[in-house]
Amino acid sequence: MPPRQSPIEQARRWWKEHTDADHYVVPPTAAPSAAVARVLRQEGLVMDVAGKRAWILTAERPLDRRAVFIANYWPVVALVLGRYEPAAS
């Protein structure tokens, strides 16, 4: 049985998998655990946006959070509004 990964190792692996797949805007519920979510926030690897309904993955704590948000605006809108999609059908 392989050794259990620490929350930091899990967080870094999760972050890398998502960024390698070009998924920079994700719901916070996509994190594998609360401990991993905490590490991602503490390490500055995610930025909470849209009232904490979306994360933007970042390589480090951004100096200009507004610029990062604007660059990812439409994916954030799509993610937040996606949960209302069945009502629009």
Q: What is the pLDDT of residues 13-68, one digit of tens each?
A: 999 999 999 999 999 999 999 999 999 999 999 999 999 999 999 998 899 999 99
Distance from C-alpha of 28 to C-alpha of 84, rounded to nearest angstrom: 17
pLDDT of residue 83: 83
The length of the chain, given as a count of residues: 89
CA 2 and chain centroid, separation? 27
pLDDT of residue 77: 97
* Residue 11 resides in a domain: yes
Q: Which two tokens stand for residue 78?
A: 């799509």
pLDDT of residue 4: 87
* Residue 43 resides in a domain: yes
Q: Is the pTM of this model over 0.85?
A: yes
* Residue 19 neighbours by CB under 8 Å, 6+ apart: 57
Q: Is the pLDDT of residue 88 over 60?
A: no
User: Residue 87's pLDDT band (boundaries 50, 70, 90)?
Assistant: low
* Residue 1 resides in a domain: no
Do 11 and 43 meet the contact criterion of CB atoms below 8 Å apart? yes
Domain region containing 38 = 7-88
Number of domains in the chain: 1
Helix, strand counts (H, E) of the chain: 5, 3
